[in-house]
Structure 1
Amino acid sequence: MLAIIGGTGIYQLEGLEVMGEHELETPFGSPSAAITQGKMADQDLLFLPRHGRRHELLPSEVNYRANIWALKKLGATQVIGLSAVGSLQEEIAPGDLSLPDQYFDFVKGNREKTFFGNGLAAHVSTAEPTSKCLADGLEKAAESVGQKVHRNKTYACVDGPRLGTRAESFFLRGAAGCDLVGMTNVPEVFLAREAQLCYCTIAIATDYDCWLDDPAQHVSVEQVIARYGASLEKAKQVLTAYITQGNSCADDCSCRKSLASAVLTPREVLNAEQLELLELLSA
């Protein structure tokens, strides 16, 4: 089943025939909001607004573990996120869409980044953290509706909620070699990998961050909101095309086997709670 995680400006999924809502309590607390289940083009879908339905959660306040656990519990096998980002490269103009395949974790705050620990040890490979088959399907859908998407880009994730300094912007685009900067995809992408979910985000560039010499190009919240609306429609077109074309990742995708050799703790020493978590993540 496909799950959609809506970012800024996406608090409900248009065109979704709502079948019901799920309010789950997880071992990690509550998700950002109730999860909507419905159908679109005869496909079962789940939808979760990342920041809550009234955008009440800062990036650092999102309970990423609860969100991914809940989607997995409800049967998700693939996740598409939508995220506002700043562009660190001139070729990615404000309004452009990207499908990042690499991540640079520049989060310094205390976000919970793994399902493991407390007696359950595992080390999941994130050399290729996103799903190529999911990105290929989204690129094909974008082409079908005349939308260009950038591929093979690196997303740097920062804490927020403040917008970055010029020094940080230069570091991320220079020394770190990043193309996009945002506040929400870490640890979301890595938790999805731990849960054996195919994951890809549609990144919507709102601005050039603040690395350009022209101060008029430096990002402000007012600019983000003004530019974001039109760009969001592009992302929705691509998402709708992906769904209506019946695209999906195969069950034998490598993302769906990421725990195969990652867990080090013997099953016989795990307690009932740990076994339950492992069985959910491994399903």
Structure 2
Amino acid sequence: MLAIIGGTGIYNIEGLITIEKHDISTPFGKPSAEIIRGVYHGKEILFLPRHGSNHQLLPSEVNYKANIWALKSLGVKQIIGLSAVGSLQQEIEPGDLAIADQYFDFVKGHREKTFFGNGLVAHVSTAEPTCSALAQKISEAAIKSEVRLHTNKTYACVDGPRLGTKAESLFLKNAVNADLVGMTNVPEVFLACEAQICYCTIGIATDYDCWQDDPAHHVTVEQVISRYGASLEKAKLVLATYIQGTSAVCQSRCNHSLESAVLTPAECLSEENKQLFEVLSA
């Protein structure tokens, strides 16, 4: 089962025929919104708006654990996220699409970043946090759709909600060598790893953040919204082409990430942790 997590401006998917809506409670609270199960271009998928149905949630207010848990409990094996991002590299122009395969966690505030703890200890490898097979199939869909898509990029995640300073933008560009900056993919990508779900985000570049000298290129909310619509249509085209094609078959260890990761003996787990692990490892 494939799930789409919609970012800024994506609170529904045009053409998605709704079958049912899931109002789910999880051990970690409520997800961002009801999860829609529907048919899109002939395939059954799930859809969840990351920021809520009316964009009422800041990046730091999104209940990422509840979102991933709810999707996992509904049988999701793949997640494609859609996210607005800033470009930290000249060649990724506003309006371009990009897929990150690496992440730099620059989140300094408190976000729940793991399902583990409280008697259940596990350490999941995130050396390769995204699914290479899924990324390849999305790339092929972009080529077929004649849409420019950059791949193998590094996404730096910041707290928000404020837009970054020029010093921060230059640090992420030069010291970190990041290509994209956004506010939401951490901890989403890492929780998907812990839940053994293949994960990729299609980043929609809306601006050059604020690393360039010309203030006219510095990001504003007005720029983000005005440039987002046309680019979003390109992302939807790539997504539709991917869905209509052959689904990716995971060649990495996305769906087996918990093997050898858990250190706490099974006989020492509480009933609550046994149930938690049962869902994550399904």
In the superposition, the TM-score normalised over structure 2's length comes to: 0.99
Instruction: Note if contact 1:101-1:154 (Cα within 8 Å) is conserved in structure 2.
Output: yes
User: How far off its partner does 1:41 sit?
Assistant: 3.2
Q: Give the Cα–Cα distance (whole angstroms) in 1 for the partners of residues 271 and 249 of structure 2.
A: 32
Instruction: Note if contact 1:78-1:249 (Cα within 8 Å) is conserved in structure 2.
Output: no
Question: Who is 1:197 aligned against?
Answer: 197
Task: List runs of 5+ in structure 1 lacking aligned partners.
Answer: none
User: How far off its partner does 1:148 sit?
Assistant: 1.4
Question: Who is 1:266 aligned against?
Answer: 265
Q: Residue deviations 1:7-66, cap 9 Å, x none?
A: 001101121111000000000000000000011233220000000000000000000000
Q: Give the Cα–Cα distance (whole angstroms) in 2 for the partners of residues 137 and 154 of structure 1.
A: 19
Question: Who is 1:166 aligned against?
Answer: 166
Question: Who is 2:125 aligned against?
Answer: 125
Aligned pairs for 1:59-78 (under 5 A) are: 59-78=59-78
Question: Who is 1:187 aligned against?
Answer: 187
Question: Who is 2:226 aligned against?
Answer: 226
Q: Give the Cα–Cα distance (whole angstroms) in 2 for the partners of residues 263 and 43 of structure 1.
A: 35
Instruction: Note if contact 2:103-2:154 (Cα within 8 Å) is conserved in structure 1.
Output: yes
Q: Which letter does structure 2 place at the counterpart of 1:118?
A: N
Task: List runs of 5+ in structure 2 lacking aligned partners.
Answer: none
SS in 2 for 1:122: coil
* More deviation, 40-49/134-143: 40-49
Q: Give the Cα–Cα distance (whole angstroms) in 2 for the partners of residues 253 and 213 of structure 1.
A: 41
Aligned pairs for 1:1-283 (under 5 A) are: 1-250=1-250, 253-283=252-282
Q: Give the Cα–Cα distance (whole angstroms) in 2 for the partners of residues 137 and 6 of structure 1.
A: 19
Instruction: Note if contact 2:119-2:270 (Cα within 8 Å) is conserved in structure 1.
Output: no
Identity of aligned residues (%): 68
SS in 2 for 1:152: strand
Instruction: Note if contact 1:100-1:152 (Cα within 8 Å) is conserved in structure 2.
Output: yes
SS in 2 for 1:265: coil
Q: Which letter does structure 2 place at the counterpart of 1:36?
A: I
SS in 1 for 2:110: coil
